[in-house]
Structure 1
Amino acid sequence: MNDRPLAQIDLIDNSTSVELSSNRTSLSFERTRMSADRTLMSTVRTSLSLIGFGFTIHSVFGKASALIPNIDQTGTRLGLALLTLGILMLVMGIYGHATFGRALTRRRERLHELALIHHAVEYRATPTLVIAVLLLAAALLALGSVIFRMNS
């Protein structure tokens, strides 16, 4: 902690109440950023379920059609649709998270420019965002594999 007397500590507007308000504001930005990460995590979980179910359903019905020649292709199409929906949801979640992070950075920079908070922080990619992008790459590979198998 800081051992300097209160009079020597850099306070915003030389006011302890403004300083406390600034600290609460800074912490609220951190809570908001963590909330955005939790939202992205829930989007990743939901899209992963859609992608997993879609790939599994497509694979099961694809193997069944090899055993039973006249089976309807509805199951295969359903699997492909779920896989595609999962990918679309993941793309929208990643885009929304990145857009929100940039907007949050701009708001915090603005408060710093107005000397209402001490530090401007640029929010960078979080582990959640990195995992979401890697999952998107894996899902696109799975979609490519499904489409390649359908055409061959």
Structure 2
Amino acid sequence: MPDEKSWVDPGAEPDRASVELSSRRTGMSFQRTRMSAERTLMSVIRTSLSLIGFGFTIFQVFQKLHDAQVLKSGMAPRRFGEALVVIGIAMLISGIAYHCSFMIGLRAERKSLKSQGLIHAESQFPPSLTLAVALLLLLVGFLAITSMVFDIGPF
């Protein structure tokens, strides 16, 4: 025979305190998931910044060596540097697109659970500072590749 405390009547009204705790845990899990998405975008930013910076540096070093007539042809390092910058930009674009898509889906799921009364959704998702930094880095990447390809700008 089951213990009285462990047996629950399937038709009984759930305990309000346990529903409240469950609702709060679910709400906090949305916050943790949002922060995880921010950390993922930060990883993309870090890697893209490394690729863009390293590519631009390779380009500049070999360009200066070519200008000083130390190297006869600097086309291979130039193309390699440009390729690294383009890969960094492409990675950043895909990371931003993934982040935006993920956050739209997370917000939709959160809104759905709120409309069903399963979570409170009192705390809002703040604007993403990480996304703003990613967009600024994307702008810097475009300026770098433009400077490299068209040989313009202060670089």
* TM-score grouping bracket, smaller chain normalisation: 0.7 to 0.9
Alignment partner of 1:54 is 2:55: yes
**What stretches of structure 1 of length at least 5 have no aligned partner?**
1-12
Deviations 1:127-151 (A, max 9, x none): 111011011111111111111118x
Amino acid across the alignment from 2:117: A
Which structure's CA Rg is the greater one? 2
Larger helix share, 1 or 2: 1
Query: TM-score, with normalisation over the residues of structure 2?
Result: 0.83
1:42 is matched with which residue?
43
Report the equivalent of 1:4: none
Q: What does the per-residue CA deviation read over 1:27-59, in whole Å, with 9 as the maximum and x for residues that have no partner? A: 000000000000000110000000000000011
| Contact 2:57 2:81 (8 Å CA) reproduced | yes
Return the letter of the residue paired with 1:98. C
Distance 1:94 1:122 in 2: 21
**RMSD in angstroms over aligned alpha carbons?**
1.8
Which residue of the other structure, out of 81, 84, 90, is the alignment partner of 1:82?
A: 84
Aligned-residue identity in percent = 47
* Residue 106, structure 1, aligned to residue 108, structure 2: yes
State the distance in 1 between where 2:37 and 2:72 align: 48
> In 2, are the aligned partners of 1:101 and 1:123 still within 8 Å (CA)?
no
Structure 2 unaligned regions, length at least 5: 1-13
Q: What is the total number of aligned residue pairs between the two structures? A: 138
Contact 1:108–1:120, Cα closer than 8 Å, also in 2: no
Bigger shift: residues 127-136 or 113-122: 113-122
| Contact 2:58–2:77, Cα closer than 8 Å, also in 1 | yes
Aligned equivalents of 2:121, 2:55: Cα separation in 1? 46
d(CA) in 2 for partners of 1:124, 1:99? 16
